[in-house]
Structure 1
Amino acid sequence: MALRRAKNSIHAGLAPARPRAPTVAIESLDGFGWGLIGASTIAREYMVDAIRRSGGRPLSVMSHDGARAAGFARDLDIPDSCSDLDALLADRRIGAVYISSTNTQHRHQVLAAAAAGKHVLCDKPLATRSTDALKMVRACEKAGVVLAVNHHLRSSPVHQTMQRMIAAGEIGAVRSLMIVHAGYLRPVLQSWRIKDAAEGGIYLDLSVHDIDLASFLLEQTPVTAVALGAGVALGSNTVHDHAMYALKMSGGTFVQVHESFVTPDVESQVVALGSEGALIAAGTLAQRSTGTLMRRVNGRNESIPLRANDLYADTVEQFLGAIAGTGSPRATGRDGLAALAGAEAVGKAASTGRAAAVKRHE
């Protein structure tokens, strides 16, 4: 009976997302025009397909390297390419942009898109500083455009089921959450992520994801962080590739996280420990809908069956629903801001060896 309640429950304690005023008629979203800002690996491997599966049309791709943009457009059958942001934003056929450039470019590009009246789906992190992210959130709110952040782990059916079960009290009061998010960074990604300190290293790559996931599962935000971090193999003293940290959340739950770019053959884990049982997810911290979920109560393990989905297509569909005024993005701009503020505190705690408070932004 408890499992049946979990599957059918609404997020306890949360009011339903308030639909925003529509800026695009929902019937016109089929064939909706998109611009891609950044000829990135994630756009190439996942997002162009996700946009098309939602009925959208990628119309142009922009990169500061014009030849890279042209090659990307040719490979993925996108009609136009350019190396000028203003040119892409001036295209009246484009209603939304997907931003997947390097982290340090997000601030300028989101602000420019908002000024041009384009809805924005931005890859994480929203910015490299939470003060900048707050300006971006406010600019989009003022412009009346949707700002969403590509925290795709929220779209996992495993994580969505965990959130519902936690909210419904299926394992009692959750006292601790543990996350292991590790592996070996693919060679194609061993560039600015671990070469340029301004890009934030592991904290602005994995930590923002894991902190957002913890906030999503627990419906709490991070308050304080303690951390250890280092450049073990791919990074350096200033760009960490290996970290462990703990967070105290706003509701009092403790969160413990291990992240690494330099430990191969690790299966990810997300474990929620409650007063009446535990939820154990394995293999879910991926870019595809994978993994298993088990509930342990009274010394017995119960496997919970789930149906896979396309994480990025789900993210895009929720974003389009927000544009149409029928719902909210999976992760809003303010969700991205909260995750970034948490990652900032983790990075500060790792560099100073002291507990760091998470900045609060209203």
Structure 2
Amino acid sequence: MAMRKAKNTLHAGLSPAEPLTVAVDALDGFGWGLIGASTIAREYMVDAIRRSGGRPLNVMSHDGARAAAFARDLDIADSCSDLDALLADRRICAVYISSTNTQHRHQVLAAAAAGKHVLCDKPLATRAADALKMVRACEKAGVVLAVNHHLRSSPVHQTMQRMIAAGEIGVVRSLMIVHAGYLRPVLQSWRVKDAAEGGIYLDLSVHDIDLATFLLEQAPVTVVALGAGVALGSNTVHDHAMYALKMSGGTFVQVHESFVTPDVESQVVALGSEGALIAAGTLAQRSTGTLTRRVNGRNESIPLRANDLYADTVEQFLDAIAGTGSPRATGRDGLAAIAGAEAVGRAAATGRAVAVKRHE
């Protein structure tokens, strides 16, 4: 079996089953189970798993016909509608969970009890209290828990993070994020129909809060917010929001999110005491966008090399399993993002400033 190549550096429950320990040179052919026959799995993650040397062996959906069609279309040998059956497969070392948000808690806990490493799509759970239980269960079981916050894998965002940490624009006073667009028809289902799934806050806010935390290396402390169901949502499921965070290091973060505003190019702008970093078109599922540094009234384009965001996420997950690295976003990172999003939702509902609860 061939050794999995190291990734390129980016440019300037029950007693748990024994988790599988994998040597770096055995990660090619690594067996995966897919929990959820989702759009993101179909369009991105199966390919990312294969590009990283893994083998998707089985896909599970509560709708057996959907699972069978997914397996057929993506050339996966097995499909099922029973979670226990998938987790009982000894060939499967890790699972990728991309079911609806409300199912994540049960599925992650079951995977941990079965000794499977877990890469879970965001949000990790629908409540921070549940996410904390999931994190602790995986820690107790000795399995890696990672969250698919793929924006951390963007070469633009990674470069921004390094430049901010190096003080290249001085002390960052403010960060602004515009993450808006029109939700594709294929996605206009539970995201905007079922209040239990969290609406825009558990779809976009978790991403943007996690990105702000990653870029600034600070945690959200307080939030004020406005939110509404403008077109696709309702009074209880918001599709449009604006909010501001005060971070632990004193930086202010301003965020605009929307499912109902087409033709918007995303922006992430860091404003420092000695300049600014401006990222445009980076809040996407592919490696896109540009980065500009503005200092002394002059703009400088920062050269970058594109990557596969999801393959990078998978490779970091595999490195963590092998003991040679850490996930791009850990379970505790996912927990922190949910706590922030919960506070945003409460602030929008009450019209008051809300403190972000810390979970240890």
Sort the TM-score into its range (normalised by shorter chain): over 0.9
Is contact 2:154–2:287 with CA below 8 Å preserved after alignment?
A: yes
Deviation at 1:347, TM superposition (A): 0.3
Summarize the Cα distance change of 1:260–1:17 in structure 2 as closer, same or farther, 3 Å threshold: farther
Is contact 2:276–2:294 with CA below 8 Å preserved after alignment?
A: yes
Deviation at 1:85, TM superposition (A): 0.2
Is contact 2:4–2:26 with CA below 8 Å preserved after alignment?
A: no
Summarize the Cα distance change of 1:335–1:125 in structure 2 as closer, same or farther, 3 Å threshold: same
* Separation (CA, whole Å) in 2 of partners of 1:248 and 1:206: 18
Summarize the Cα distance change of 1:205–1:287 in structure 2 as closer, same or farther, 3 Å threshold: same
Deviation at 1:6, TM superposition (A): 23
Q: What is the TM-score when the length of structure 2 is the normalising length?
A: 0.95
Partner of 1:9: 9
Is contact 2:228–2:238 with CA below 8 Å preserved after alignment?
A: yes
Is contact 1:6–1:168 with CA below 8 Å preserved after alignment?
A: no
Q: Which runs of 5+ in 1 are unaligned?
A: none
Summarize the Cα distance change of 1:290–1:123 in structure 2 as closer, same or farther, 3 Å threshold: same
Is contact 1:7–1:165 with CA below 8 Å preserved after alignment?
A: no
Q: What is the TM-score when the length of structure 1 is the normalising length?
A: 0.94
* Separation (CA, whole Å) in 2 of partners of 1:293 and 1:249: 23
Is contact 1:11–1:163 with CA below 8 Å preserved after alignment?
A: no
Is contact 1:185–1:262 with CA below 8 Å preserved after alignment?
A: yes
Summarize the Cα distance change of 1:67–1:7 in structure 2 as closer, same or farther, 3 Å threshold: closer
Q: Which runs of 5+ in 2 are unaligned?
A: none
Partner of 1:308: helix, strand, or coil? coil
Runs of 4+ in structure 1 deviating by more than 3 angstroms, as ranges, are 1-19
Deviation at 1:15, TM superposition (A): 33
Deviation at 1:32, TM superposition (A): 0.1
Summarize the Cα distance change of 1:285–1:6 in structure 2 as closer, same or farther, 3 Å threshold: farther
Is contact 2:225–2:241 with CA below 8 Å preserved after alignment?
A: yes
Is contact 1:11–1:164 with CA below 8 Å preserved after alignment?
A: no
Summarize the Cα distance change of 1:266–1:16 in structure 2 as closer, same or farther, 3 Å threshold: farther
Partner of 1:6: helix, strand, or coil? coil
Partner of 1:31: 29
CA RMSD of aligned residues (A): 6.1
Summarize the Cα distance change of 1:146–1:4 in structure 2 as closer, same or farther, 3 Å threshold: closer
Q: Deviations over 1:39-85 (max 9, x none)?
A: 00000000000000000000000000000000000000000000000
Deviation at 1:7, TM superposition (A): 17
Q: How does 1:146-165 map to 2 (within 5 A)?
A: 146-165=144-163
Summarize the Cα distance change of 1:24–1:354 in structure 2 as closer, same or farther, 3 Å threshold: same
Summarize the Cα distance change of 1:230–1:186 in structure 2 as closer, same or farther, 3 Å threshold: same
Q: Deviations over 1:299-358 (max 9, x none)?
A: 000000100000000000000000000000000000000000000000000000001111
Partner of 2:193: 195
Q: Deviations over 1:210-267 (max 9, x none)?
A: 0000000000111111000000000000000000000000111000000000000000
- Greater Cα offset, 5-14 or 144-153: 5-14
Summarize the Cα distance change of 1:337–1:102 in structure 2 as closer, same or farther, 3 Å threshold: same
* Separation (CA, whole Å) in 1 of partners of 2:156 and 2:170: 19
* Separation (CA, whole Å) in 1 of partners of 2:176 and 2:232: 25
Deviation at 1:25, TM superposition (A): 1.1
Partner of 1:67: 65
Deviation at 1:127, TM superposition (A): 0.1
Summarize the Cα distance change of 1:14–1:112 in structure 2 as closer, same or farther, 3 Å threshold: closer
Summarize the Cα distance change of 1:259–1:47 in structure 2 as closer, same or farther, 3 Å threshold: same
Summarize the Cα distance change of 1:83–1:6 in structure 2 as closer, same or farther, 3 Å threshold: closer
Summarize the Cα distance change of 1:17–1:279 in structure 2 as closer, same or farther, 3 Å threshold: farther
How many residue pairs are counted as aligned between the two chains?
Answer: 359
Q: Deviations over 1:258-293 (max 9, x none)?
A: 000000000000000000000000000000000000
* Separation (CA, whole Å) in 2 of partners of 1:111 and 1:24: 21
Partner of 2:25: helix, strand, or coil? helix
Deviation at 1:16, TM superposition (A): 29
Deviation at 1:134, TM superposition (A): 0.2
Deviation at 1:93, TM superposition (A): 0.1
Deviation at 1:103, TM superposition (A): 0.2
Summarize the Cα distance change of 1:195–1:4 in structure 2 as closer, same or farther, 3 Å threshold: closer
Partner of 1:243: helix, strand, or coil? strand
Deviation at 1:17, TM superposition (A): 26
* Separation (CA, whole Å) in 1 of partners of 2:31 and 2:194: 33
* Separation (CA, whole Å) in 2 of partners of 1:312 and 1:151: 9
Is contact 1:17–1:327 with CA below 8 Å preserved after alignment?
A: no
Q: Deviations over 1:95-122 (max 9, x none)?
A: 0000000000000000000000000000
Deviation at 1:24, TM superposition (A): 1.0
Summarize the Cα distance change of 1:206–1:3 in structure 2 as closer, same or farther, 3 Å threshold: farther
* Separation (CA, whole Å) in 1 of partners of 2:2 and 2:33: 45
Partner of 1:101: 99
Summarize the Cα distance change of 1:155–1:37 in structure 2 as closer, same or farther, 3 Å threshold: same
Summarize the Cα distance change of 1:135–1:313 in structure 2 as closer, same or farther, 3 Å threshold: same
Partner of 1:70: helix, strand, or coil? helix
Equivalent pairs: percent with the same residue? 93
Is contact 1:114–1:140 with CA below 8 Å preserved after alignment?
A: yes
Partner of 1:233: 231
